[in-house]
Structure 1
């Protein structure tokens, strides 16, 4: 069974609390640090630019991380939606 993928940036002030919340809930995930490499940034940009769920994020001039992508394709921008 595959696990969720967390797209994040270690430069983002929201990442630490999001990761702590996932760990507190016992949620395992594959981590993609978008500021680690061009390959990881491109993977995130492909997701962000192909999904309508990111429109409000882009309209607000935000990047869109951290975000958890579940194997079923659903996205979680906050811990409250888990």
Structure 2
């Protein structure tokens, strides 16, 4: 007889984990494009003469949902690993 728990191993990457990782990657990309790749002056502003747009350093807030979604994905994966262990 085989143990029913051993018959099918639980997946580590569920839909929720994949969705959280995709959302995290999207927010990290926006954070990089709007904050990390821009050179700000001492006042925290960047003027794009070509597009005539002023960007401020307040775009750092895009990092918050990026980290939040990553933490959700890690928590879900940790919960699955913890349940598999016990």
Q: Which has the higher helix share?
A: 2
TM-score by length of 1: 0.25
Structure ID, larger Rg: 2
Q: Which has the higher strand share?
A: 1
